[in-house]
Structure 1
Amino acid sequence: MARGRLPLPEPAAGVTSFLHVEDAARAAVSAVEADTGGVFNVVDDDPAEAAVWLPEYARLLGAPPPRTVPAQLAERMLGWLTGYQLTAMRGAANDRVRQALNWKPATPSWRTRLAAD
């Protein structure tokens, strides 16, 4: 990213859900101590499309804005997983973990903490 080598596929509509490590730790402790079991999506409240978060990340690093490439090239350039993440992935919602464990992220948006870290 800092060298300007991570391209942004067009369209960069893949949605990523973020989570601060401290929120992950609090959620893990809550889950271990809870009487409720199951699977929980532990994420912040602000999933974002790659077209939003990737340029912001570059800006915060002082890197050049990511160059755009056709989506068809993304998989060949970045590999299947990263290409999928940036073009087609759907973010997660934290509704169940909020209700079942009475948990909420202390950092509700990647936007505030990313700039601070």
Structure 2
Amino acid sequence: MKTLLSIGHGFSARALTPLLSDFRIIGTTRSEEKAAALHDDGIEAVVWPGTDLTPLIMGATHILTSVAPAESDPVLAEYAETLRHAPAEWVGYLSTTGVYGDRHGDWVDETSPLTPATKRGRARVAAEGAWAQLGLPLHIFRLAGIYGPGRGPFAKVRAGTARRIIKQGQVFSRTHVEDIAQVLAASIAQPNAGAVYNVCDDDPAPPQEVIAHAAELLGVPVPPAIRIEDAEMTPMARSFYAESKKVRNNRIKEELGVTLKYPDYRIGLADLLAREGAAH
């Protein structure tokens, strides 16, 4: 039986689970509480750190890692030598479009130089390189800003805490979690070791437009605009505004045959709102 070992089985990996009905799926998580939630989804949950993953790595036909690097990649820090000998036929690494750095609103694709502007971006570039050196059938997925059920702008807009922060020329790409899942499933079905894929929608947009559209969908006042110079922001939030770029996604369509379910944020937000209504 095909077995996926999903290291760091979080938001994106959980969206993949329903698409792999013929797989045994083993997912790691950091707490017993989260393990119980994964178990309810039909996942064989393992708490890691805390469990030796060696037999799972050696028994997996497919490996997906969603674990973000800190100073270094925590999976490689513990299991690099084990992974060198892993028999997996497909390995996926979830990275970020932050590896491209700031392009002042210009376009990037998978061949663009990696010029990260943040510490997080530099750590991702280093982690991508370290995974690539293991000799595995590696596939790298550079994800844009992720949204999806339970992770969208509506809660903040309803609570009155959403802000339309304005930075001239700022533009982001984003991706719905279910489109990430279908890209991963398509890659698993058509392995191409060494491939790198940008995962994003077709419509890079200024963040304030997304917030305004969410407010309009809810029928509430559009939050006031705040200049970035005047905005109080966490260092993490401010780091996102340090980079502006538009990300091309041609490769997932041309190589993997993916048709995006949510090609722009308008379609994605309308669907999230419809689901919320259906859940009440």
- TM-score range normalised by the length of the shorter chain: 0.7 to 0.9
Question: What aligned pairs does 1:55-74 form with structure 2 within 5 A after superposition?
Answer: 55-74=212-231
Give the unaligned 5+ runs of structure 2.
Answer: 1-155, 273-280
Greater percentage in helix = 1
Q: Relative contact order: is structure 1 or structure 2 higher (C-alpha 8 Å, sep ≥ 6)?
A: 1
Pairing partner for 1:21 from 160, 163, 177: 177
Please state how far the C-alpha of 1:65 moved relative to its aligned partner: 1.5
Give, in whole Å, the separation in 2 of the partners of 1:81 and 1:21.
Answer: 21
Contact 1:12 / 1:87 at 8 angstroms: preserved in 2?
Answer: no
Look up the equivalent residue of 2:262 and give its one-letter code.
T
Give the unaligned 5+ runs of structure 1.
Answer: none
Give, in whole Å, the separation in 2 of the partners of 1:66 and 1:12.
Answer: 18
Pairing partner for 2:262 from 104, 107, 110: 107
Give, in whole Å, the separation in 1 of the partners of 2:239 and 2:215.
Answer: 20
> 1:39 maps to which residue?
196
Pairing partner for 1:81 from 236, 250, 260: 236
Q: Percent identity?
A: 27
Contact 1:13 / 1:86 at 8 angstroms: preserved in 2?
Answer: no
Name which of structure 1's ranges 4-13 and 40-49 shifts more when overlaid on structure 2.
Answer: 4-13
Greater percentage in strand = 2
| SS, match of residue 45 in structure 1 | coil
| SS, match of residue 14 in structure 1 | coil
Give, in whole Å, the separation in 1 of the partners of 2:223 and 2:203.
Answer: 22
Look up the equivalent residue of 1:30 and give its one-letter code.
A
Please state how far the C-alpha of 1:57 moved relative to its aligned partner: 1.4
Task: Count how many residue pairs are aligned between Structure 1 and Structure 2.
Answer: 115
Give, in whole Å, the separation in 2 of the partners of 1:34 and 1:82.
Answer: 36
Give, in whole Å, the separation in 2 of the partners of 1:96 and 1:43.
Answer: 11
TM-score (norm 1): 0.76
Larger Rg belongs to: 2
Contact 1:71 / 1:87 at 8 angstroms: preserved in 2?
Answer: no
Name which of structure 1's ranges 79-88 and 58-67 shifts more when overlaid on structure 2.
Answer: 79-88
Question: What aligned pairs does 1:86-101 form with structure 2 within 5 A after superposition?
Answer: 88-101=243-256
Contact 1:97 / 1:103 at 8 angstroms: preserved in 2?
Answer: yes
Runs of 4+ aligned residues of structure 1 deviating over 4 Å after TM superposition are none
Please state how far the C-alpha of 1:27 moved relative to its aligned partner: 0.5
Give, in whole Å, the separation in 2 of the partners of 1:59 and 1:109.
Answer: 16
Contact 2:163 / 2:211 at 8 angstroms: preserved in 1?
Answer: no
> 1:53 maps to which residue?
210
